[in-house]
Structure 1
């Protein structure tokens, strides 16, 4: 572990990085040359997310590639993966909708023993990044707006539909930390006036894609969770809410009857 007097640690700490020693160690272990260390520190000090600086993020036991401009997978979203795995250990078809880097899809594929995996996102940069992360599991990534991106052959066949939709209310986007606000795509953050616009669209069409007994899982915030459960129920799904106090995670689960 670098000492607090280390110049890299000092630069990171001066920039406000709370875990400066840990970040310095990660940067040094990732960089191939001293010049790369300097360049990475400069990017981090200027406000870029650490994961963009490193080019990867740890997620559910995997090292996931995360390119600049792509949504960074959050640790709390590991709870969504855990819920999906507990529900559908024998899942044969998995879809990661609004996939970003493809971290959720890759983690599900790794945990479920190689299901047929599809991922989709509207952002070309996310699609390129996701292809890197799901390729080891034989996954396919499609570009487009929600279900419009998916092959019609998946209708009625999906056992696990994970959708880490954007859920920040439009009026709150400006309150996000600058790392997210300035360096992640708005399409991955802005969920409309009440933060539930995309969630509604996903839930409304989910019954056409889920297999009998299949489940839709969506992350949301604590204040939004009761309304999100209602949206799922109105869509004809058996709705439930799973909560992790440790990770501050709220996952709405809708299961096909």
Structure 2
């Protein structure tokens, strides 16, 4: 019997059935994306195999839709969440004329790419501690003239940016360590722990970002970071303790909470 890899092109109905049997809730939508991405029958069969084995859809496709862009997402790299588009919208509303932008904990570089696409001529720098993320971010930022750096938060940045950043975003890991086993298997098994684990209360990285922000922001510069509803009060306190004027923006539609801090 021929193997699946040598099977003639799977029909759309067969792809839907395979995805549905694997527990994919939006099997029809996913099938359409996979069918539209696969270049031949062998690739189609391989993509269906990977998805039914539990890989995130974005890792199977090699890209994710984010803020109107198609962002490359390599295996092992954090998949940008659609709710984080709210952070992008808030950032653009806060500093619509930003000329120097930094995105920490950048993952695939989706946030930086979205900001670079919307801010004409802005210089965008992104940083992550994970080498796979930096490679992916470099790929996504290159068309916009952006740069990705590897290192631990601010240590990764060119020193010349100190005190000159108009807009600083940080979609930090904010899952409390005890809650990591509760994450969906797609995230738990296929995304790097450094992109998920926020320490005992989920705010360890956010506190470090907030504490360092005043030294890197320009006067009037903004720091924006995503957090959860439960963590928002403590995240807000971390911003104010760092000397930033801060507030929380909320999207009921996306169940998104973004802390916004301003350097005086």
Alignment of 1:233 onto 2:244: no
User: What is the rounded CA distance, in whole Å, between the counterparts of 1:53 and 1:128 in structure 2?
Assistant: 18
Residue 168 (structure 2) aligns with: 161
Match of residue 43 from structure 2: 36
Q: Deviations over 1:172-216 (max 9, x none)?
A: 000000000000000000000000000000000100000000000
Instruction: Verify: 1:176 aligned to 2:183, yes or no.
Output: yes
Over alpha carbons, which structure has the higher Rg?
A: 2
Contact 2:12–2:35, Cα closer than 8 Å, also in 1: no
Given candidates 242, 245, 259, the residue that maps to 1:252 is: 259
**4+ residue stretches of structure 1 with deviation over 6 A?**
none
Could you give the per-residue CA deviations for residues 16-67 of structure 1, whole angstroms, max 9, x where no partner exists? Answer: 1011011001001101001111000000000000000000000000000000
Measure, in 2, the Cα distance between the counterparts of 1:52 and 1:136. Answer: 21
| Consecutive unaligned residues in structure 1, runs of 5 or more | none
The answer to whether residue 129 in structure 2 is matched with residue 122 in structure 1 is yes
Q: 1:145 and 1:64 mapped to 2: Cα distance?
A: 23
Equivalent residue, structure 2, for 1:152: 159
RMSD (Å), alpha carbons: 0.9
In the alignment, does 2:60 pair up with 1:60?
no
Deviation at residue 251 of structure 1 after TM alignment = 0.2
TM-score under structure 2 length normalisation:
0.95
Q: What's the offset of the Cα at 1:5?
A: 8.0
Are residue 100 (structure 1) and residue 101 (structure 2) matched? no
Name the counterpart of 2:224: 217
Distance 2:120 2:55 in 1: 35
Q: Quick one: which of 136, 140, 143 aligns to 2:147?
A: 140
Match of 2:118?
111
1:112 positional shift:
1.2
- Secondary structure of 1:6's counterpart equals helix
Aligned to 1:198: 205
1:84 partnered with 2:91? yes
TM-score normalized by the length of structure 1 = 0.98
Counterpart secondary structure, 1:141? strand
Distance 1:114 1:253 in 2: 23
Name the SS for the 1:89 alignment partner: coil
| Distance in 2 between residues matched to 1:38 and 1:242, nearest whole Å | 43
Number of matched residues? 254
Task: After superposition, give the CA deviation of every residue in 1:57-96 in whole Å (9 maximum; x if it has no partner).
Answer: 0000000000000000000000000000001111000001
